[in-house]
Structures are given as C-alpha cells and as structure tokens.
Amino acid sequence: MNSRRIAIGLLVWGGLVMGTAGQGALAAEGDSRPALSAEAAEALARAESSVAQATARKALWTTATSALAQAQEAARKADNAAVMEYAAVASEQASRGMAQLDSPLTNQQH
C-alpha cells in the first residue's frame, strides 16, 4: 500500500535532483575547468590550425581572426554551441583566404 507513495516520492525526488543538477551545471561556468565538449574542442583546434596556416601563408583575413577570437571567448565560457558556430566561420574564412592566393592577378591587360 505504501509502494505507490514510495514510487511517487521517488519520481518527485528524482525531478528535484534533476532540477538542482541543471542549476549546478550552469553554476559550473565559474569553476576553474569548464567542460568543453570533445566535438567543440576539436572544432576549435581545427580553426586554430587553419588560421595559423593562413597566417604563415600571408593570406589571413580579418574575419577569420575575429571569428577565432569569438570561438576562444566562447570556449572560456564552455558555450559549446557558440564554439562550434564561430570555429566553423574561422575555419571557412581561413581556407577562403588561402584559396584566394590562387586567384589571377587583376588588371593585367592593356
């Protein structure tokens, strides 16, 4: 007869725990080691590598640099979604800059 009450109690306490755990995850922003997802960390590393390559080839765009800065800022806050978004822009803009090196010189006629 008490089993129903126990089941409800368990459900209720489970909900409470999930709620506070959610609050705890948000509070983790202030912790010394924020948790960046593996996917986001990998995207950031790829972006840093692309930007470094473009820099070495003297083909870096300011848009790549600023997107990377925003990705790094988002990484400090463990904002995985923002890291993914900005890292993608940084990688794309960096590779566009390098591809531009192959474009022909302009105004070569007359």
Q: Which residues bind another protein (CB under 8 A)?
A: 5, 8-9, 11-13, 15-16, 18-20, 22-23, 26, 55, 58-65, 79, 81, 89, 92-93, 96-97, 100-101, 103-110
Minimum gap (Å) between residue 90 Cβ and another protein: 11
Axis-axis angle for helices 38-56, 80-100 (nearest 10) = 20
Residue (of 84, 92, 44, 41) closest to 64 by Cα position: 92
Of 32 and 109, which has the nearer Cβ to another protein?
109
Dig out the tokens for 66 from the structure: 């600023």
Closer residue to another protein (CB): 46 or 63: 63
Closer to another protein by Cβ: residue 30 or 104 = 104
Closest approach of Cβ 37 to another protein, in Å? 15
C-alpha distances out from residue 58 to 34, 42, 55, 94, 101, Å: 34, 24, 5, 11, 9
